[in-house]
């Protein structure tokens, strides 16, 4: 015959055993064991269901984040491609007559301040465009 040892059961849950006149554990209350086991099973079952719901939620969150990562990766690749095409494209620098005269004036004022006085003025600089026209 199979049975639980009352002293061992008492260590786990003293309410699951009956005692004799001396107060020693005598027999196991098996009807109470079944109820206790059912309650413990239900508690564990609820925990497993909660964990399942959390796992599903996390799975959805991960899928959403993966989609966002793919979208951001695509956008980053587009920007990188545009940047690369800008870097590799030939550049043509044009300067208008107004910009050229500003450059000459800046050059003259820089030289004046470096030499400590008026080494030459903007008027002494020849206009490069008029020089080119006169050479034609």
Residues 100 and 84 in one domain: no
DSSP-derived secondary structure for 5-34: -HHHHHHH-GGGEEE-TTS-EEEE-HHHHH
Q: For residue 1, what pLDDT band results from cuts at 50, 70 and 90?
A: very low
Residue 92 clears pLDDT 70, i.e. is over it: yes
Residues 65, 39, single domain; the answer is yes
* More confident position, 15 or 135: 15
Beta bridge partners of 28: 17
Residues 65 and 105 placed together within one structural domain of the fold: no
> Distance between CA 20 and CA 102 in Å, rounded?
113
**Number of domain units in the chain:** 2
47 and 112 both lie in a single domain: no
Do 71 and 55 fall within a single domain?
A: yes
Average pLDDT over residues 19-47: 91
Enclosing domain of residue 61: 6-88
Whole-prediction pTM value? 0.43
Looking at the structure, tell me whether residues 45 and 105 fall in a common domain: no
């Amino acid at each position: 015959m199979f049975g639980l040892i009352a002293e061992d059961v008492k260590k786990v849950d003293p309410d699951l055993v009956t005692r004799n006149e001396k107060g020693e554990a005598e027999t196991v209350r098996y009807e109470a064991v079944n109820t206790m086991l059912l309650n413990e099973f239900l508690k564990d079952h609820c925990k497993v269901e909660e964990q399942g719901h959390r796992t599903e939620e996390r799975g959805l969150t991960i899928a959403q984040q993966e989609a966002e990562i793919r979208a951001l990766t695509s956008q980053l690749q587009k920007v990188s491609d545009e940047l690369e095409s800008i870097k590799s494209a030939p550049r043509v620098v044009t300067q208008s007559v107004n910009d050229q005269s500003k450059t000459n004036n800046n050059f003259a004022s820089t030289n004046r301040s470096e030499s400590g006085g008026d080494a030459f003025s903007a008027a002494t600089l020849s206009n490069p465009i008029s020089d080119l026209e006169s050479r034609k």
